[in-house]
Structure 1
Amino acid sequence: MENSAEVQRPTEAKPHIEKNKPQKSKKRSSDSPYLFMLPYAALFTLLIILPVVVAVALSFTYYNTVQFPEFVAFKNFIDLFTGDSIFLQNAITNTILYSVIVGPIGYMLAFFLAWMLSQVPHKIRTIYTVIIYSPSVTGPIMMAVVWRILFSGDEKGYLNYWLMEWNIIKEPLQFLQSPDLLVIIMIFIGLWGSMGVGFLAMLAGLLNIDRTMYEAAYIDGIRNRWQEIFYITIPSMKPQMLFGAVMAIIGTFNAADIASTLSGGNPPPQYAGWLIVDHANDFGFIRYEMGYASAVTVVLLVIVILFNRISYKLFGEKD
């Protein structure tokens, strides 16, 4: 009997075979996140990375969309910063002025309006959210129709009509043909339409803050709403604040055709309100100098990256 028991001992190796099965399933489960990420990675590469790589490559060439691109090294960038006075004096200056004013003010205004809406009941909040968000969607249509009528340079323009009725002016002002006034109107319209996706993200972040944190903060010594905002609200919604900052930067630096649409001419009078994207569109789609236009977009990309780094320093998590 003892010999037969010893002979049957090799059959105890079965549990060793069964231990290998969970390892296969574990390996398969570790690969599943990459399969879910594959569609996004493919679309991101196709729609974002590939166009950026192509633009950088074309910026070192002369390409007129007909002939094969001719490599010219840094000639486009040298011409851009040494011989293109419109780019240096108008495009860059107007873009930075527009972005520095519309970006931060629109960003703070978006947070302030989102914070106010978070204090009101749900039904009223929904109505006001739609009203505030709608200009960012209907901006181009409203700009082409409503704003041009409002700032029209004849007596039929609403603003000129009111100013003349109140005896403030004696003759109509050419709002959309004056370079100084056109830039001011462009900045005003930019602020009017700045409540976009960043505003919605901030509102969502405000509504998802745990209310018990405020109760605990008041027990610990917070005395007013300003301390509540700076010590509880903003630190609790840093991801939404960062998203809003990035969207504000991208939206302001990618703005285009505002001055041309308002003034009815391309380019606008004395290139007032002429932005970097306008300059790129002019060389790319009107003059068909795609290499030079690509150099303009590469410069814009570098500027946007620098400003995005600043926003990450302010609202990004150290972890």
Structure 2
Amino acid sequence: MKSNNKELMSFKKRLGNVKESPYIFILPYAVLFIMLIVLPVLVAIGLSFTYFNTIEIPKFIGFKNYVDLLTGDSVFLQHGVSNTIMYSLIVGPVGYMLAFFLAWMLSQVPHRVRTIYTVIIYSPSITGPIMMSVVWKVIFSGDQTGYLNYWLMRLQIINEPVQWLQSPEHLMPIMIFIGLWGSMGVGFLAMLAGLLNIDKTLYEAAYIDGIRNRWQEVFYITIPSMKPQMLFGAVMAIIGTFNASGLAATLSGGTPPPQYAGWMIVDHANDFGFIRYEMGYASAITVVLLLIVIIFNKISYKLFGEDK
């Protein structure tokens, strides 16, 4: 009987140790992270070294996909990479600074008004640029009934309608404009939350120590106090801009768009993966994109990561 009691007490003790283990709390996230992130990335890396047409068994071909991609694919090099980097370097930083500026302004207004403006600013990112491009297609329509052409002709700035969405010169700037318009996403909400949770006594102490204007307040108190939110916003901006796809085809009404204007890396991967069914080559494209995103994320961590 005493032996059974000792075994029961020992079992309860081990069970208590398991309950107190931090690994139990991170187990659900770890399982989802492995299933939804790690495994797909490993599968993509593995398929990138094969020829796989989704019907036959993948055939190992070594680095051939990467060699063809980086040396022989002119569309990827001249349009996919250049358009993606240009779009990301404009929409990412400008949208990021705009998100911080709007969040900072909203943090100065009363709660009820702030809530209304937050919903208005955040709402375009819910539907996404591709869904809302229907509205922009009406504005940038190439006939004289398009809003932009109508007003430009009425003001006698142009004499005939401009094919905004069929012109390679105009399509990319329009995409950048729409991207900025819909860039106030979760990064914007994170920055607003960070601004609202800064200890107000820091500002009082800073003014006693010699800060004299709002610009010094922002650079010396506000931004250093919300580095985690700034880092999160930067990461989300990088991922969002580099994963942009489909906007050029939706606006122009065709795939590919005129002269591959606005053609992104993800568009190129979708083209080879879901239209040509060359999954091995498409996987190589996504792996290259992953490496680019990792590099830019490292830069973000250098700028906004916590100092060790």
Task: Say which SS state the counterpart of residue 172 (structure 1) adopts.
Answer: coil
What one-letter code is carried by the residue in structure 2 that aligns with 1:158?
Answer: Y
- Give distance in 2, aligned partners of 1:82 and 1:25: 58
1:287 aligns with 2:271: no
CA deviations 1:249-298 (Å, max 9, x no partner) are 00000000011000001000000000000000000000000000000000
- Give distance in 2, aligned partners of 1:167 and 1:155: 13
Structure 2 partner of 1:187 = 176
CA deviations 1:74-130 (Å, max 9, x no partner) are 000000011100000000000000000000000000000000000000000000000
Structure 2 partner of 1:142 = 132
- Give distance in 2, aligned partners of 1:288 and 1:21: 55
What one-letter code is carried by the residue in structure 2 that aligns with 1:269?
Answer: P
Structure 2 partner of 1:272 = 261
- Give distance in 2, aligned partners of 1:120 and 1:245: 25
1:43-122 to 2 correspondences below 5 Å: 43-122=32-111
CA deviations 1:201-257 (Å, max 9, x no partner) are 000000000101101110110000000001000000000000000000000000000
What one-letter code is carried by the residue in structure 2 that aligns with 1:296?
Answer: I
1:165 aligns with 2:165: no
Matched length: 299
- Give distance in 2, aligned partners of 1:195 and 1:150: 21
Structure 2 partner of 1:13 = none
- Give distance in 2, aligned partners of 1:35 and 1:212: 38
- Give distance in 1, aligned partners of 2:41 and 2:168: 33
CA drift at 1:180: 1.0
- Give distance in 1, aligned partners of 2:46 and 2:11: 50
Task: Verify the 8 A CA contact 2:18 2:24 in the aligned structure 1.
Answer: no
- Give distance in 1, aligned partners of 2:91 and 2:44: 27
1:312 aligns with 2:301: yes
What one-letter code is carried by the residue in structure 2 that aligns with 1:193?
Answer: G
Structure 2 partner of 1:17 = none
1:170-319 to 2 correspondences below 5 Å: 170-319=159-308
Instruction: For structure 1, list consecutive stretches of 5 or more residues without a partner in the other structure.
Output: 1-19
- Give distance in 2, aligned partners of 1:221 and 1:26: 54
Task: Give TM-score, length-normalised by structure 2.
Answer: 0.94
What one-letter code is carried by the residue in structure 2 that aligns with 1:142?
Answer: M
- Give distance in 1, aligned partners of 2:38 and 2:83: 28
What one-letter code is carried by the residue in structure 2 that aligns with 1:213?
Answer: L
- Give distance in 2, aligned partners of 1:70 and 1:21: 51
